[in-house]
């Protein structure tokens, strides 16, 4: 993290570990104290070693002071957790316990229970009993039960239990990290897109988040009144000139802007990037410059920029600000990505947030533009698809808001990946920048000019395509499609890509098929998709 990123200074929620025990004295509890507390310590060590906060630091675990054999000790643990800032709880036990007396009753905490699979003092009996108590009381809990029987004195955590602990902890921490944060809507509804019709009830009731709103004229005000860090602006412009190569202008010659205007557009989009970041998380530097209110920010963990069309018909587009903030590096160095949804599509912004919090990687924001069948590809290009693409492809492409991490130029063991920022090397970042050209915006879409990032994602990355939709009468529905990025021969890519706007970034995606339902074939994936926009998420960590 750089000194420019104030997110590194925030307190993050901790994981609370609750060792529960059979409370009967005179031999029963005493025989179980050591093994029960050892389980708790093993889980805490495992999670702290495996999980990172968004700033790269190891996740912190808090263990109850004593084993929990009854309601008094349960209350003591709850008090400790509240004071320590615990956001997720995990109960562990090797034995039978008194369910309703030892259970976690905090309705605000995501919770899981690992009931040790052993025969001496079966924790599975407690697991089943206390899960039913949770269900009866309307307090959801995630049950964890190992596949194979363990010996009571075995201190290890089986592989299948490790996977379940990680899955729960990642999801629980994601929920805890969102809680109390904001979605910042910059502007309003873009081009009638339903996802940019912000639903505050969804954010409040499902995510525990609040909504903040700023008109796009706030960017104009801050630009004109110079409410941004001028020293950072100089640094940014020098960095942009050195690292952001400008591509060819595809606009008709009569519509192309002058060199002078393009240079002014670069200055504007850099200022827009600074301003949107400051709107999201604040910037103490603004306070030093006399802008105390603006220095505070909106406590936003994710934002959206309407752009089209009230902004982009007159001002440079938001592609640069979105692409750079969504990336894991900029003029301040390598840092955690921000989450900014193009066209203020809040539902896609939330999906990006889910992916980022679960994997700690940047997110590709794109349209699901076209399904290309093998026959259509062969008819148009003469090329026969093979490998993971043999059943067809989805063309993921948007106007330039996709993270530069999505180039696939970050390498791990010789393979393209998208890394958590703390694993990204200067060489990785440099290679991503070199793979991107910034093309003058297509005037037919963006009358105010600007620049769109243009790149082609490397093939061979395992990625997850996902999208959140709201269905009336049902609620939020999350679609997920696992698959791989695909690399086509250059002439084939060029032929297909030039049928749409070739100044935009492209990811060729081949979903994993099951042969039935929505995953019967690639066409069915496209045909069943709920909205046009998706982020593709690369997961290089443990399964989620």
pLDDT tens for each residue of 8-21: 667 899 999 999 99
User: Which string of DSSP letters, residue by residue, matches 295-313?
Assistant: HH---EEEEEE--TTTTTT
Q: What is the pLDDT of residues 232-268, one digit of tens each?
A: 999 999 999 999 999 999 999 999 999 999 999 999 9
**pLDDT tens digit sequence for 298-335:** 999 999 999 999 999 999 999 999 999 999 999 999 99
- Condensed to tens digits (0 to 9), the pLDDT of residues 394-420 reads 999 988 789 999 999 999 999 999 999
Contact, 531 vs 467, CB < 8 A? yes
Gap between the Cα atoms of 434 and 30, Å rounded: 64
**Number of Cβ atoms within 10 Å of the Cβ of 201:** 9
For 314, the 3-state DSSP assignment is coil
Enter the tokens of residue 402.
Answer: 């996709």
| pLDDT score for 3 | 42
pLDDT digits (tens, 9 = 90+) for 105-148: 999 999 999 998 877 777 788 999 999 999 999 999 999 999 98
Residue 343 is assigned to a ligand binding site: yes
Domains of the chain with bracketed CATH? 14-178 (3.40.50.1070), 182-539 (3.20.14.10)
Q: What pLDDT is recorded for position 533?
A: 61
Quote the pLDDT of residue 10. Answer: 74
Residue, of 346 and 400, whose pLDDT is higher:
346
pLDDT tens-digit map of 35-92: 999 999 999 999 999 999 999 999 999 999 999 999 999 999 999 999 999 999 999 9
∠240-305-325 over CA atoms, to 5°? Answer: 35
Model-level pTM?
A: 0.93
**Percent of the chain beyond pLDDT 90?**
88
Segment 464-481, tens digit of pLDDT: 999 999 999 999 999 999
* 3-class state of residue 484 by DSSP: strand
Write out the catalytic residue numbers.
343, 367
- Give me the mean pLDDT over the 100-108 stretch: 95
231 annotated ligand-binding residue:
no
């Amino acid at each position: 993290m750089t000194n420019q990123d104030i997110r590194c200074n925030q307190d993050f929620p901790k994981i609370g570990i609750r060792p529960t025990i059979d409370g009967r004295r005179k031999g029963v509890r005493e025989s179980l104290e050591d093994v029960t507390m050892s389980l708790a310590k093993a889980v805490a060590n495992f999670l702290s070693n495996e999980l990172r906060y968004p700033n790269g630091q190891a996740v912190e675990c808090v263990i109850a002071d004593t084993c929990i054999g009854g309601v008094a000790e349960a209350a003591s643990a709850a008090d400790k957790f509240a004071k320590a800032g615990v956001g997720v709880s995990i109960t562990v036990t090797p034995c039978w316990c008194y369910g309703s007396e030892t259970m976690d009753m905090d309705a605000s905490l995501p919770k899981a229970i690992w009931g040790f699979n052993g025969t001496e003092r079966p924790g599975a009996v407690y697991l089943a009993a206390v899960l039913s108590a949770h269900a009866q009381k309307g307090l959801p809990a995630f049950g964890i039960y190992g596949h194979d029987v363990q010996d009571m004195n075995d201190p290890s955590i089986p592989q299948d239990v490790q996977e379940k602990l990680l899955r729960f902890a990642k999801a629980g921490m994601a929920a805890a990290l969102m809680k109390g944060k904001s979605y910042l809507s910059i502007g309003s509804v873009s081009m009638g897109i339903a996802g940019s019709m912000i639903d505050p009830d969804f954010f409040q009731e499902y995510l525990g988040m609040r909504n903040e709103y700023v008109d796009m004229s706030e960017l104009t005000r801050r630009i004109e009144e110079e409410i941004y860090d001028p020293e950072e602006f100089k640094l940014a412009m020098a960095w942009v000139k050195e690292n952001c190569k400008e591509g060819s202008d595809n606009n008709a010659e009569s519509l192309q802007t002058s060199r002078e205007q393009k240079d002014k557009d670069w200055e504007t989009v850099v200022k827009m990037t600074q301003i949107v970041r400051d709107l999201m998380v604040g910037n103490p530097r603004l306070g030093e410059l006399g802008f105390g209110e603006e220095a505070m920010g909106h406590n936003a963990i994710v934002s959206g920029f309407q752009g089209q069309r009230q902004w982009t018909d007159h001002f440079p587009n938001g592609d640069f600000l979105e692409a750079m903030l969504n990336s894991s590096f900029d003029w301040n160095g390598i840092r955690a990505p921000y989450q900014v949804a193009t066209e203020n599509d809040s539902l896609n912004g939330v999906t990006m947030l889910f992916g980022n919090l679960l994997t700690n990687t940047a997110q590709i924001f794109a349209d699901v533009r076209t399904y290309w069948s093998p026959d259509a590809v062969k008819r148009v290009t003469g090329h026969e698809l093979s490998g993971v693409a043999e059943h067809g492809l989805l063309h993921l492409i948007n106007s330039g808001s996709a993270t530069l991490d999505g180039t696939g130029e970050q390498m791990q063991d010789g393979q393209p990946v998208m890394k958590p920022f703390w694993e990204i090397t200067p060489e990785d970042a440099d290679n991503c920048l070199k793979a991107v050209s910034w093309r003058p915006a297509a005037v037919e879409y963006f009358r105010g000019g600007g620049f769109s990032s243009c790149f082609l994602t490397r093939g061979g990355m395992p990625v997850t395509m996902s999208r959140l939709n709201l269905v009336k009468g049902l609620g939020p529905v999350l679609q997920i499609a696992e698959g791989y990025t695909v690399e086509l021969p250059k002439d084939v890519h060029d032929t297909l890509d030039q049928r749409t706007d070739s100044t935009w970034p492209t990811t060729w995606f081949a979903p994993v098929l099951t042969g039935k339902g929505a995953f019967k074939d690639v066409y069915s994936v496209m045909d069943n998709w709920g909205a046009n926009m998706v982020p593709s998420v690369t997961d290089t960590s443990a399964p989620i």
